[in-house]
Structure 1
């Protein structure tokens, strides 16, 4: 498992993590292959979730693919059309306030979107663990005013760690998660 940045190292000590977040943590540090080649691991994710016919190379936006694979591995349902980030606004149930492990859906550009998992927040941004953030599975800060949906996975028993997390406002704000 790739090490997290020091500001997020606490995630490796916190147990139990929400299952989707636990699965996402295992994938932290996976990156696209530069140029015309694709990372075979990302293409394997497409096979794992039944999207091998529609997802052919890692140059295609893959935040929704990342969410599909962590949802599947975390025992949660995958939304219909998971490659379209905004479709994740139908995942689980709506929540008023984000907490650890929730899916966050953001608007990006003209009609497109981004999706990832909440790991915390500061006064103006959510800290998001997601795929296709700077071409990899990373944690980035995304302005709260871009969030269009907070969606909570269905739990049989809510993990004790599934709570809001306040973090320092360090690092730049992402403006385009590709």
Structure 2
């Protein structure tokens, strides 16, 4: 499969060797919902892969938690219980005192929550790689004040050196509702 083309501001991510959660997530960059009543078979396959296909049957339903469950599982970790509920990811792994590359970020939003993966930050926003952001896997800026939890993967050996804070330039609008 060809590597996805990232926006210029995030092209540096293509050279990142880890953490594995990030690498798995980047491989899915650009996956889109199918418009109308049909669903993208790739997203439905994620539900089968993670054993969530009894609960998840249409990409009309929020799928940020499904995306994170898929990449976490592919990276060798166990997703949280009921991973389709974004706020449940606040129980994943260990608390990250300082969000860093590859950490799972949980946000509040009108009507529920949102979950994605930290790729960086600027003075006022987290840069988040996630599913169901503009109906696709994309990177968006989310206001820092919306963060509910930052969680780190439960590394079995040593934390990868790539897990570090990343300072980025502010650019683009803030996302206000990822549903």
Residue 105 of structure 2 is aligned to residue 97 of structure 1:
no
Distance in 2 of aligned mates of 1:29 and 1:9:
14
SS of corresponding position for 1:70: helix
Indicate the RMSD between aligned Cα atoms, in angstroms.
0.7
For residue 161 of structure 1, report the CA deviation from its aligned partner.
1.1
1:26-105 correspondence to structure 2 within 5 Å: 26-105=27-106
For residue 157 of structure 1, report the CA deviation from its aligned partner.
1.9
For residue 149 of structure 1, report the CA deviation from its aligned partner.
0.1
Q: What CA deviation, in whole Å up to 9, does each residue of 1:119-173 have, x standing for no partner?
A: 0000000000000000000000000000000000011221111100000000100
What does residue 120 of structure 1 align with? 120
Residue 15 of structure 2 is aligned to residue 13 of structure 1:
yes
What does residue 171 of structure 2 align with? 170
Distance in 1 of aligned mates of 2:16 and 2:64:
24
For residue 14 of structure 1, report the CA deviation from its aligned partner.
2.3
Q: What CA deviation, in whole Å up to 9, does each residue of 1:65-113 have, x standing for no partner?
A: 0000001000011100000000000000011110000000000014x00
- Give unpaired runs (5+ residues) of structure 2: none
For residue 56 of structure 1, report the CA deviation from its aligned partner.
0.6
Distance in 2 of aligned mates of 1:120 and 1:130:
13
- Give unpaired runs (5+ residues) of structure 1: none
Distance in 2 of aligned mates of 1:14 and 1:95:
20
TM (norm. structure 1) is 0.97
What does residue 132 of structure 2 align with? 132
Distance in 2 of aligned mates of 1:142 and 1:20:
20
What does residue 108 of structure 1 align with? 109
Distance in 2 of aligned mates of 1:42 and 1:33:
9
Q: Please say if residues 116 and 129 of structure 2, whose CA atoms lie closer than 8 Å, have aligned partners that are also in contact.
A: yes
Distance in 2 of aligned mates of 1:160 and 1:122:
21
What does residue 142 of structure 1 align with? 142
